[in-house]
A and B are shown apart, each in its own frame.
Chain A
Amino acid sequence: MESGPIDHLIFLGKRLLQATLVMFVISLIGFSIQDNLGDPLRELLGQSVSEAERQALRDQMGLNDPFLVQYGRFLSKAVQGDLGDSYFFKRPALDVIADKFIATLELVIGATLIIVFISVPMGCYCAIKPNGWISRAVMGISIVGISIPVFLTAIFCIYLFSVELGWMPSFGRGETTAPFGWESGFFNVDGLVHLVLPSISLASIMLPLFIRLIRSEMMEVLESEYIRFAWAKGLNKYRVWFLHALKNTLLPVITVGGVQIGTMLAYTILTETVFQWPGMGFLFLEAVNRVDTPLIIAYIIVVGLIFVVTNTVVDVIYTLVNPTVRIAGKAS
């Protein structure tokens, strides 16, 4: 009956295979859109270069080769970590993205922390006291929260906290320090202060969703027989709520959470643009404006990779937390 370490390895192997397949498809899609983004030579060379020279450069860059040849070349370089050079920065696209990655990661971590520390207690409270006025208010506000787009929340935050109240900076990343070798705003007050408004804006779209999800999952769990049995055993209410009920509540939430972290990356494009946050999303928007094709493709692949990695990690975590899944994984 017990699932051994072998089963875990098989499970992990399957997941990694799936992840590789997904990455392959993403790379194919990412690569095939490049022809539809306009002529990169125009951006590179401007108007004053003759047609003959253009063709020569085209041949030199391999842009005239058949699609599959180009893709094969791209793929073989990609697995070695080379996604081409950015036309604008004249540097490897991956390096350019890596420079901006920490800034975006800070934003995602900030928003995730806000979501976790607010949605779990609030969701639990609303499930335990569903008819209290606080729960009704939270539910009402969350409906509004879901319907307001991120850029509007961001602009409202800037207006209220930066313009009217003057408590918070309205744009930029603030001061960064590098105590562990990479530049981050996490380790000084100015950097953290700059992080507050963008994190809130980014969290605003997911937070109501998670509060509602946790509330409905927990309400369902609280009705279950094993919770009734926990009460019948005479356990104290905090143990029933925060061990027996919460642990069962969080299992489905973890799965949704993994997917949503990926989705949050998409929203960083909006948040970073509004707050002029020098991250990947902002970089991507600039790259689109400049038709910097290698950078655009690299961004798509990096984001796809993050998506796939978080989902795989979440799946693995899920099997570790949920004892029943280990058997299911074995049976399949």
Chain B
Amino acid sequence: MALLDVSNLNVEFPTRHGTLHALRDVSFTLDKGERLGIVGESGAGKSLAAFAIINLLSKPGRISGGTITFEGQDLTAMDTDALRSIRGNRISMIFQDPMMTLNPVLTIGTQMVETLQAHRRISHAEAKRIAIAKLREVTIPSPEERFDSYPHELSGGMRQRVVIAIALLTDPSIIIADEPTTALDVTIQAEIMALMLDLCETHDVGLILITHDLGVVSEVTQRVNVMYAGRVIETGSTRDIIDAPKHPYTRGLIAALPQQNEAAQRLNQIPGSMPSLDGIPPGCAFNPRCPHVGERCRREIPALRALGEQQVACHSAEEVAALAGNGGSAS
């Protein structure tokens, strides 16, 4: 049985102009120590899917259907206190912008110790010892001094290390990282990503990495979910999807990556932009931008179906798979 099993998750936002369906029938699993990437453009619902797991949706968003089974318990059926004992304890989060994540008026130490004390009966001295050990583990220089620092005394990269240290404090079984390197300098990004990968491997922690960067996904994750307009449209092993994408959208994303061996070429881009939640076209949400669009695509929403090693939600997936050439996994 998987450590985490998200099944047919639906999230909606009731608004004055009707209900917006932000997530529709999102399903995925995560095994112990496994690293899963969730990719897509901004607004595809990838962060929502992550926040929904520990029910931290911003108001008025709510889970309107589906189950989230973690270690055998359904998180959607849990009361606030039970869920709180899982948040930050069994499932930790790393946010996008380390400049905004830490409370500016509390010391690093306070923000670490309180996390431990929220989940364990532990003395301040013992909590401090663990906190400093974690700071050392994320390679923060002179952690004893940094323990008493305020966030603004640290650089962005250092702050993200602190956030990672906080996420690791309680030895969680899953870390959800929401674009953890997007807000950082390019030179720091690789460092932080390598650190996260290393820590996840040493502690055997499962990672859900939310990103729009397929490059990062291919380096870090074992499996990947591609999301578009609130649905998972392609899922499978990272290798298979990068080598032989079967959804035209995934194919477009990969084609849009800069190629290192072809100098000074214009980057490919997918024409158009993702529809907003209140303007999703009938049929396949991607159809107005799709080069393989057919009559059926405008009428019928494609279901996720197995094709080779991966699953894909596209009526023309076979056609796309054939285009991929060496993507011989199309059976």
Contact = CB atoms under 8 A, between A and B. Distances in A.
* Interface size class of chain B, counting residues whose CB lies under 8 Å from the partner chain: 20 to 34
B101 A229 contact: yes
A52 interface: no
A181 B101 CA distance: 52
Given A232-B92, A233-B114, A244 B87 contact: no
A14 B95 CA distance: 40
B236 to A, nearest CB: 29
Interface stretch (B102-110, B192-200, B269-277): B102-110
Interface in B89-117: 89, 92-93, 95, 97, 100-106, 114-115
Contacts of A231: 56, 87
Contacts of B119: 234
Contacts of A264: none
Contacts of B56: 228, 231-232
Contacts of A226: 100-104
Interface residues of A, number: 25
B129 interface: no
Nearest to A322: B105
Contacts of B100: 224-226
B305 interface: no
Contacts of A224: 100
Contacts of A225: 95, 97, 100-101
A229 B115 contact: no
Given A225-B101, A229-B102, A236 B150 contact: no
B153 interface: yes
A248 interface: yes
B152 interface: yes
A231 B115 CA distance: 10
B104 A233 contact: no
A234 B104 contact: no
B136 interface: no
Contacts of A229: 93, 95, 101-103, 163
B86 interface: yes
B88 A235 contact: yes
Contact of A233 (B58, B97, B105, B118): B118
Contacts of A236: 84, 118
Contact of A244 (B93, B101, B106, B152): B106
Contacts of B54: 232
Interface string A147-182: 000000000000000000000000000000000000
A235 B92 CA distance: 12
B88 A1 contact: no
Nearest to B85: A234
A193 B89 CA distance: 53
Given A233-B87, A233-B118, A234-B86, A324 B104 contact: yes
Contacts of A233: 87-88, 92, 114-115, 118, 166
A243 B114 CA distance: 11
A133 B95 CA distance: 34
Contacts of A228: 56, 58, 95
Given A2-B153, A232-B88, A235-B115, A323 B93 contact: no
Contacts of A2: 153
B114 A248 contact: no
A226 B114 CA distance: 14
Contacts of A244: 103, 106
Nearest to B83: A234
A232 B93 contact: yes
Contact of B114 (A1, A239, A251, A321): A239
A231 B85 CA distance: 11
Interface string A117-139: 00000000000000000000000
A192 interface: no
Nearest to B110: A243
Nearest to A239: B114
Interface in B112-163: 114-115, 118-119, 150, 152-153, 163
Given A232-B56, A234-B85, 13 more contacts: A1-B153, A226-B103, A229-B102, A232-B92, A234-B119, A235-B88, A235-B115, A239-B118, A248-B103, A322-B105, A324-B105, A327-B152, A327-B153
Interface of A: 1-2, 224-226, 228-236, 239, 243-244, 247-248, 251, 321-324, 327
23 contacts: A1-B153, A225-B100, A225-B101, A226-B102, A229-B93, A229-B163, A232-B56, A232-B87, A232-B95, A233-B87, A233-B114, A234-B87, A234-B88, A235-B114, A239-B114, A244-B106, A247-B103, A248-B104, A248-B105, A251-B105, A322-B105, A323-B104, A324-B105
Closest 8 CB pairs of A and B: A234-B88, A233-B88, A225-B100, A234-B87, A323-B150, A232-B93, A226-B103, A233-B115
